[in-house]
A and B are shown apart, each in its own frame.
Chain A
Amino acid sequence: MAAQGTHEVQPLADLESHSDRAWNLAWNPKHPLIASCSADKTVRLSSYASSSGNTLAPKTVRAVAWSPSGKTLATASFDSNVGIWEQEQDEDEDDEDGDVDMTGQKGLGNGEWECIGTLEGHETECKSVAYSSTGTLLASCSRDKSVWIWEVQPDAEFECMGVLLEHSQDVKCVAWHPHEEILASGSYDDTIKLYVDDPSDDWYCFTTLKGHESTVWSIAWSPCGRYLASASDDKTVRIWAYAAAASDGGADSKNKVLQVKPPSVISSSQGDGRWVQVAVLDSHERSVYSVSWGKGNNGSGLGWLASAGGDGTIRVWDVQESEDSSIALNPKLIASYPEAHGVFDVNCVSWNPRAGMEDVFATAADDGSVKIWRINPSKEAGSD
C-alpha cells in the first residue's frame, strides 16, 4: 500500500527469521550489527551485510541492549536474569560449547560471543534492559514490579545501586535519558516513573507520569533529552516534557508561560516545574508496542519518532516545537507503512543510532522476522 505523508518507508532488507516471535532488537551504536531476540530463546546478531549466528538462552529473551561502546550486549530474559555478553578477544582457546555458536562478525573481530556475567535479582521474568548514555549504569525491569540499577565495574562485575519498587504492576520497559543519569520506566500499572540518584543516598523515583489508560509498553527519550515519548496499550503514543514557568514571563502574570526545560538531576527533583503531557498521537488502531525517537535526517526540529504495534502499521512522525509560546507539540505524520510484517504484530521499532544512517530503522515482529527500512522523501510531495 502506498505510504501517506511527505515521506515513504522503503523496505531495505529482511533478516533471517527467528523461529518464534521476535521481541526486540538493538542496533550496535559503533559497529554494523543488529542484535535481535526472540521467544525462540535465541539472540541473533546480524551484520548489515551477511547473516548471523545464534546464541542460546534458557528462556525467551525479551529485550536486548548494547552498551554505548558497542562491545557489550545485555539481554533481558524470562529466566529472570540479565545476561552480559562480550566477544572473546583472542582466538587462542577455541572452546566449543555447543550452546554458543556465534561466529565471526564483520567489524567486531572473529571472537566468540560469550556470557561473561549474569545479573540475578529479579524474581520473575526480566522484561527490559538498558545502558545509560555513558555505559556506566545498567537498568533492568521485571514482572516482579521492580526496577534494578547496576553500576558497571571492571571484570564483568556489577554493583547493585538500587532496587526500585515503585510500580504496582509488571514493569515493561526502562529507558535512560540520552545524556543525564535519569531513568524512565513504564508499566502495566499505566504509569511512567522517572528516577534519579541521590548522591548521599539511593536512587529514588522523583516523579510519576500518569495519563495513559493502559499498559505503557515502550519509552523513548528525544535525542535532545527534553522530551519523552511513550507507547501504550491504550493505542496512543504520548509525549511528555518537563515544563516550568518561563523566567522572563513576568509581563503576562495571569497566564504563566510554561517552557520546556531540559531535565537535569537537579531540576527534575527539586525544580519548580513539573512533567506535563505535550502531545497525544492516537492514529494507531491497536496497541502500540514500541516507539523509537531518532535524530531524523532533516537537520531541524526534534527528530523523527517511529511507532508500531498491534495494527501492523509503522508510523513515522516529524516532531517540531511550536512556533508560538505553546509547549504543546503537534507531530506530523510523515510516513506510514501498513502490514509491515503482514498480519503480524510489530513488537519493536528502532532507529539506527549511527551517524549517516539516521533514516534507517528496523522492526521485529511476531512472525519472527526482523526487517530493515529506510525513510525517503515521497516522489509526489516535495521534500521537507
Chain B
Amino acid sequence: MAFSGALACIKPVEQTDKKPEEKYVGAKTEIVVDSSGSYYEVASEGAVQLNNTSAQIDNEASTGTKLEQAQISLNDCLACSGCITSAESILITLQSHAEVFTFLDSNKDATEGTKKLPVLSIAPQPLASLAASLTASACSSSSSSAAPPITPHQVLRRVQAFCREALGIAHVFDTTFARHLALREHLLEFEERKAKDKLGGEAAQGQLPMLASACPGWICYAEKAHSEMLPFISRTKSPQQVMGTLVKEWVGKHAGFTPDKVYHVSVMPCYDKKLEASRQDFYNDVYSTRDVDCVITTGELELMMREKGWDLAQPVPGELDEEAEAVNAESTALPELIQHAGSSSGSYLMSIIEHLQRESAVPLTLSSKIMRNADYEEFTLTVAGSGKTVFKGAKCYGFRNLQNVVRKVGRERGVRTAGGAAGRLAGRAGAGVGRRLKKAGGGGDDDGGKDKQYDYVEVMACPGGCVNGGGQLKPVLPKPQESGVDEEGYPRDWVQTGVVLPETETEMGATTALRADVDPPSVAAIESGVVTNAKWGDKDWTRRVEAAYWLDGSLESMGQAGVQCDEEGSGAAEIKMNGGPHDPDAPPRTGTISSTRQVINDNGGLDTLRAMGGGREGPTVSGRTGGRLNVKSDATSAERRRSAQRVRKQRWAEKLADRVLKELCGSDNDAVKNRHRFFRTEYHAVESDVGGLAVKW
C-alpha cells in the first residue's frame, strides 16, 4: 500500500541468496505458506537448499527456500502491497531475469521451426537510470571534476551490443515509438471523451477528467480500492503494451514470425509492469501468448549484465553516431528515443495540452501552478484575450497526491468514493455532507464556477514519476564502499551483500543524529560526511536521473556539455557547457558496475515506504519548449541542427505510425474496431476483502 508504494518509495528486489539463478530455474516449484505466513519456494521434485538465514522455520517448510517477500509480492510498490492475489504473485515470480536466461538457453538448442525470435524493448526511464548511474560512477572514480555525461542514446547502443553479443538478441528497441503510438491513441480518446462530456446527461458520466493509464501501480490500486475511478481512466494501452502489440503483430509479422514465435522481453522502471504484462487482457487466445512475455526491471537488466561479465561503462563503437533514418519504405526500423516534451513519465498531459494549443482557433496561454509539492502541479489553458479557461489538467505523482486526486474527482464528479462497508458509511456521510453544504449555500464550487474542474490528470504512483520507479537502480553517491556506510548513511557490511542488518537499519535515525553518545556505526556515518537524511539523497538522485532522461544524444551536445560532478553528493546534477572536448578514447572505468550493484543489493525492509518527493523537473513541463535540459547555450548552428533533427524524427515517427496503423487495422469499416482491439484495454474492479478477516484487536 501505501502503496507503494513508496518507499519510501520503492525498493528493488533484494537478492539475499547467493545463487539465485539455480533457484529460479525451471517452473517445477511450488510456493507454500507456513503457519507464520512466510512463503517458501519448494521444488516439486527434490529439496532445494535451505537458506542459511532462516534457521527457525517450520519443519513443514524447511525443505524449501524461504522467499524474500519482494519476490512474491509487490510490497515495494505502494500501490499494490498486500493486495495482489497469489495467482498474480506467481505470475510475477515467473518474470525474472533468470527466466530470460532460461528461455535463451532453451531457444539456442531449439530445432528449426520451434525457435523463437527474441526481442527486447527498453523504456527510456531505465536508459536514463543506467546513464545517470554510469555518469555518477565515472564522476566518483575519475579525478577530474567534470566528465561528459553518458546519454540514454549511448546506453541504448551499449545495451544493444550486450544483447547482441552476450545474449544473442538481435532486435533491441526502445519503447518511445510505441509511446508515440500510445500518445496518438490517447489524444483520440481524449477528444472522444470531451465530445461525450459536452453532450451532458448520461453520456457525460465518467468521461472527464480522463486519468492517465500508463502507471500499473495506479491501475492496480484503482481496481482494488477505487472502482469508482475506473470509468475515468484512459482505455489506451500503456506504451509497454502498445510495444507488445507492435512487436508481436507487426515487427514479428514482417520478420515472418507469428506472435507465439516471438519472445518479447521488456525492460521497465517498475515492478508493476510485470503485473500489467500478466493481465488477461493482454493475452492472445489465438496464439496462446502474451504481448510481453517477460518484464524485467532496470536493476534486473543490470544484474544480467553483471552475471555475464559485461561492463556497461565500456563505450561501444559508433555509440555517438547519429541514428540512421530508415529510407526504405518497407523497413521495419523504428525511430529511436523520440523525445515527447512534457514529463519523464510519458508526457501524457503535455501531449494533450500541445494538441489543444495546436488545434485551437485562438491562441491559448498555458500557465502552471505547483500545488502542495512539485509532484502535484496544475496546468491551465486560457484564451489569450478573454482569460476564459478552456482546459485544466494536473500532473499528480506519488501515492499521497493520488489520494487527493481521487477524493477531488470523486467529490467534483459526484461518484461515491469507495465500495463495501466503506461505501455504506460513505453513503450516509454523503447525505450529511450534502445537507451541510446546502446550508452553506454552495457546493464545491465556492468560486462561482471559476474553479474549473479537471479535464485530465497525469497520475503516477511513484513520487517523482517513472524515473523514480521501484525497479530503477539505486542512487550512486560518492565513496560509499570505503566507509562501510551506504548511500543513505546507513552502516553496512559490504562483504555480506544481501544481508540486511535490521538493527542498524531501523536505528539509523537515532544514531546518525547523535553526537554525545555515539554507537560505532554512527561515528562512521558522521566522519564520512555522507548525507544522513535518506530522502534527500534519493530526491537528488531522482533529479539526476530526470536530467539524464532529457539528455540529447547527438554528438554536438556531447562535445559541449559536461556534467558537474558533485563531490558532496548533495547537489543537483547540473549540466553545464564547458566547451571541453569529448574524449571518446577515455579509458574504460572498471568497477563501476559492481559498485552500482552493491548499492542495488543492499537494501532494507521491503515494507518501508520512504516518502520521497520527486524533484521539480525544471524545464520539462513548464512550457512549450519543454523536454530539454537547461543548457545555457548561445543558439548555435548545432542547436538548430538538433532541432531540425528532432523535427525530422517526429515526421518519421508520424509517417511510420500511419503505416503501422494502416497495416494493423486496415482502412475499411473495421479499422476503428481493430484500432480499439490493438490499442485499448479494459479495467476490472476487484472485490475488496477488507473486513473478511476476523480481527479482534
Query: A-side interface residues toward B, CB under 8 Å?
Result: 39, 57-59, 62, 78-81, 83-84, 90, 93, 95, 97, 99-100, 114-118, 120-121, 123-125, 143-146, 155-168, 191, 198, 200-210, 243-245, 256, 258, 269-275
Flag if A274 contacts B539 (CB, 8 Å).
Answer: no
Q: How far is the CA of A321 from the CA of B403 in the complex (A)?
A: 44
**What are the 7 closest A-B residue pairs judged by CB atoms, nearest first?**
A165-B609, A202-B611, A160-B403, A245-B516, A207-B509, A79-B421, A163-B2
Question: A123 is contacted by which of B225, B428, B613 (Cβ under 8 Å)?
Answer: B225
Q: Which residues of B contact A57 (CB under 8 A)?
A: 425
Q: Is the CB of A258 within 8 A of B6?
A: no
Taking A58-B424, A274-B513 as known contacts, 17 extra A-B pairs with beta carbons closer than 8 A to each other, sorted by chain A number, are A79-B422, A81-B418, A97-B428, A116-B429, A117-B432, A118-B417, A144-B1, A163-B2, A164-B609, A166-B609, A200-B613, A201-B613, A207-B509, A207-B513, A243-B516, A258-B517, A272-B513
> Would B513 and A270 count as touching, CB distance under 8 A?
yes
Verify B440–A155 contact, CB threshold 8 A: yes
- Please name 18 pairs of A and B residues whose Cβ atoms are closer than 8 Å in the assembled complex, sorted by A: A81-B422, A90-B439, A116-B432, A161-B400, A163-B1, A165-B5, A168-B607, A202-B373, A202-B400, A207-B509, A208-B508, A210-B506, A256-B517, A269-B513, A269-B533, A270-B513, A272-B516, A273-B514
Distance of A327 Cα from B417 Cα, bound (Å): 50
* Shortest Cβ gap from A296 to chain B (Å): 30
Chain B: CB-nearest residue to A249? B516
Q: Is the CB of A272 within 8 A of B506?
A: no
Q: With both chains docked as a complex, state the minimum distance between the C-beta of A154 and any C-beta of chain B, in angstroms.
A: 9
Kindly list chain B residues whose C-beta atoms are within 8 Å of the C-beta of A99: 428
Q: Mark B4-44, 1 if CB is under 8 A from A, else 0.
A: 11111000000000000000000000000000000000000
A208 adjacent to B506 (CB under 8 Å): yes
Q: Answer yes or no: B177 CB below 8 A from chain A CBs.
A: no
Complex contact A274–B511 (CB within 8 A): yes
Interfacial chain A residues near B411, Cβ < 8 Å: 157
Cα–Cα distance between A380 and B424 once the two chains are bound (Å): 57
A159-B404, A165-B1 given as contacts; is B433 within 8 A of A201 (CB)? no
Q: How close is A122's CB to chain B, nearest CB, in angstroms?
A: 8
Chain B residues within an 8 Å CB radius of A203: 611
B507 touches A155 (CB 8 A): no
Name the distance in Å between B639's Cβ and chain A's nearest Cβ.
33
B424 proximity list for chain A (CB < 8 A)? 58
A208 adjacent to B437 (CB under 8 Å): no
Shortest CB distance B542–A (Å): 12
Complex interface residues of chain B between 430 and 455 (CB less than 8 A to chain A): 431-433, 435-437, 439-440
Cβ A117 vs Cβ B510 within 8 A: no
Interchain CA distance A39-B696 in the complex, whole Å: 8
* Closest chain B residue to A160, Cβ basis: B403
Output the nearest chain A residue to B511 by Cβ-Cβ distance: A274
Q: Do the beta carbons of B429 and A123 come within 8 Å of each other?
A: no
Q: Chain B residues near A58 (CB, 8 Å)?
A: 421, 424-425
Q: Which residue of B lies closest to A202 (CB)?
A: B611
B403 touches A121 (CB 8 A): yes
- CB < 8 Å neighbour of B510 from A78, A125, A204, A274: A274
Q: Are B510 and A81 in contact (CB under 8 A)?
A: no
Do A273 and B1 have beta carbons less than 8 Å apart? no
Interface: B623 (CB within 8 A) = no
A118/B3 in contact, CB under 8 A: no
A208 to B611, CA, bound (A): 16
Is A162 within 8 A of B539, CB to CB? no
Assuming A114-B432, A201-B535, is B690 touching A79 (CB within 8 A)?
yes
Is B613 within 8 A of A202, CB to CB?
yes
Give the distance in Å from the alpha carbon of A84 to the alpha carbon of B428 in the complex.
Answer: 12
Alpha-carbon distance between A123 and B432 when the two chains are bound, in angstroms = 24
Bound form: Cα–Cα A116–B421 in Å: 16
> Complex Cα distance A244/B514, Å?
8
Query: Across the interface, do B516 and A206 meet the contact criterion of CB distance under 8 Å?
Result: no
A59 touches B611 (CB 8 A): no
Q: How far is the CA of A79 from the CA of B436 in the complex (A)?
A: 24
Q: Which residue of B lies closest to A149 (CB)?
A: B400
* CB neighbours of B365 from chain A (8 A): none
Residues 600-613 of B, flagged 1 when their CB comes within 8 A of A and 0 if not, give 00000101111111
Which residue on B lies nearest to A81, using beta carbons? B422
- Interchain CB contact (< 8 A) of B516 among A120, A207, A210, A273: A273
B 41-69 contacts with A by CB, 8 A: none
Contact A83 B605 (CB under 8 A): no
Between B424, B517, B611, the greatest number of chain A beta carbons within 10 A of the residue's beta carbon is seen for B611
Tell me the B616-662 residues at the A interface (CB within 8 Å).
none
Residues of A within 8 A of B612 (CB): 201-202
The reply to whether B425 and A191 contact each other, CB–CB distance below 8 Å, is no
Q: How far is the CA of A243 from the CA of B439 in the complex (A)?
A: 51
Within 8 Å of chain A (Cβ to Cβ): is B426?
A: yes
B618 to chain A, nearest CB (A): 16
Tell me if B82 and A144 are in contact (CB < 8 A).
Answer: yes
Q: Is B108 an interface residue (CB 8 A)?
A: no
Cβ-based interface call for B78 (8 A) = yes
Evaluate contact between A145 and B436: CB separation under 8 angstroms: no
For A163, list chain B residues within 8 Å (CB).
Answer: 1-3, 5-6, 78, 399-400, 403, 609, 611
Once bound together, how far apart are the Cα atoms of A160 and B429, in whole Å?
Answer: 18
* Distance between B502 CB and nearest chain A CB, rounded to angstroms: 9
- Contacts A115-B425, A162-B400 hold; do A124 and B607 have CB atoms under 8 A apart? no
Residues of A within 8 A of B605 (CB): 168
Q: A58-B421, A210-B507 are in contact. Are A201 and B400 (CB under 8 A)?
A: no
Contact B440 A166 (CB under 8 A): no
The 8 Å CB contact of B509, one of A115, A118, A160, A205, is A205
- Which of B82, B425, B610, B697 has most chain A Cβ within 10 Å? B697
B385 CB within 8 Å of chain A: no
Q: Which of B654-694 contact A (CB under 8 A)?
A: 688, 690-691, 693
> Cα distance A95–B434 when bound, in Å?
13
CA distance A155 to B408 in the complex (A): 13
**Chain B residues in 8 Å Cβ range of A116:** 429, 432-433, 436
Q: Which of B83, B432, B517 is the most central at the interface, judged by chain A CB atoms within 10 Å of its CB?
A: B432
Q: How far is the CB of A23 from chain B (nearest CB, A)?
A: 8
Taken together as a complex, chains A and B put the C-alpha atoms of A167 and B606 apart, in Å, by 10
In Å, the complex CA distance between A273 and B610 comes to 23
Q: How far is the CA of A258 from the CA of B516 in the complex (A)?
A: 7
* Given A155-B440, A202-B613: A165 touches B4 (CB 8 Å cut-off): yes
Q: Identify the closest chain A residue to B438 (Cβ).
A: A93
Pair A201/B539 contact, Cβ less than 8 Å: yes
A7 to B688, CA, bound (A): 51
Q: Which among A124, A155, A200, A206 is the interface contact of B436 at CB below 8 angstroms?
A: A155
* B613 neighbours in A (Cβ, 8 Å): 200-202
Chain A residues in 8 Å Cβ range of B403: 121, 160, 163
**B510 contacts A80, C-beta separation under 8 Å:** no
Tell me how far the C-beta of B136 lies from the nearest C-beta in chain A, rounded to whole angstroms: 22
Judged by a CB distance under 8 angstroms, whether B695 is at the interface is: yes
Cα–Cα, bound, A83→B418 (Å)? 13
A271 to B515: give the CA distance in the assembly, Å: 9
Listed residue (A116, A118, A256) with the most chain B CB atoms within 10 angstroms of its CB:
A118
Give the chain A neighbours of B695 by CB distance below 8 A. Answer: 78, 124-125, 143
Residues of B within 8 A of A120 (CB): 225, 417-418, 422, 426
